[in-house]
Amino acid sequence: MLLSFSSTSIRILIIKLILILLLTGCSTDTSPKNIHLKYGNPSQANAKDFNNYLLEKPNYALSYNCSAGIPNWVSWQLNRFWLGSVDRSNDFRPDLDLPDGCYAVRPSDYRGTGYDKGHLIPSGDRTISQTDNSTTFLMTNMIPQSPANNREVWRELEEYSRQLVSEGKELYIVAGGEGKKNVIAQGKVTVPSYTWKVILVLSNGNVEQTIAVRMPNTEEVARTDWRDYLVSVDEIEQKTGYDFFSALNKNIQQKIEAKVYQ
CA 13 to chain centre: 47
Please name every residue paired with 86 in a beta bridge, in sequence order, or none if there are none.
none
Average pLDDT over residues 136-162: 99
Pairing of strands 169-178, 142-145: unpaired
Evaluate if residue 244 carries a pLDDT over 50: yes
Evaluate if residue 28 carries a pLDDT over 70: no
| pLDDT tens, position by position, 178-225 | 999 999 999 999 999 999 999 999 999 999 999 999 999 999 999 999
pLDDT of residue 32: 56
C-alpha Rg value of the chain to the nearest Å? 22
Whole-angstrom distance, CA of residue 128 vs CA of residue 80: 9
The 8 Å CB, 24+ separation contacts for 209-214 are 209/256, 209/259, 209/261, 210/245, 210/256, 210/257, 210/259, 210/261, 211/261, 212/236, 212/260, 212/261, 213/157, 214/178, 214/239
Whole-angstrom distance, CA of residue 225 vs CA of residue 59: 29
Q: Confidence band (pLDDT; 50, 70, 90) for 6?
A: low
pTM of the model as a whole: 0.88
Evaluate if residue 90 carries a pLDDT over 60: yes
Average pLDDT over residues 57-67: 98
Tell me the catalytic residues: 119
Evaluate if residue 49 carries a pLDDT over 80: yes
DSSP letter, residue 93: B
Sequence-distant (6+) residues with CB within 8 A of 228 are: 153
As to burial, measured by CB atoms within 10 angstroms (0-12 exposed, 13-18 middle, 19+ buried), residue 38 is middle
Whole-angstrom distance, CA of residue 234 vs CA of residue 67: 27
CA max distance for the chain: 90
Whole-angstrom distance, CA of residue 161 vs CA of residue 8: 63
Neighbours of 180 (CB within 10 A): 11
Identify the CA nearest to 165 among candidates 225, 75, 84.
84
pLDDT of residue 2: 43
| pLDDT tens, position by position, 34-46 | 999 999 999 999 9
Domains in the chain (CATH in brackets) are 33-257 (3.40.570.10)
14-23, 106-115, 156-165: least confidently modelled range = 14-23
pLDDT of residue 48: 98
Whole-angstrom distance, CA of residue 3 vs CA of residue 202: 61
| pLDDT tens, position by position, 213-242 | 999 999 999 999 999 999 999 999 999 999
Sequence-distant (6+) residues with CB within 8 A of 256 are: 200, 207, 209, 210, 233, 245, 248
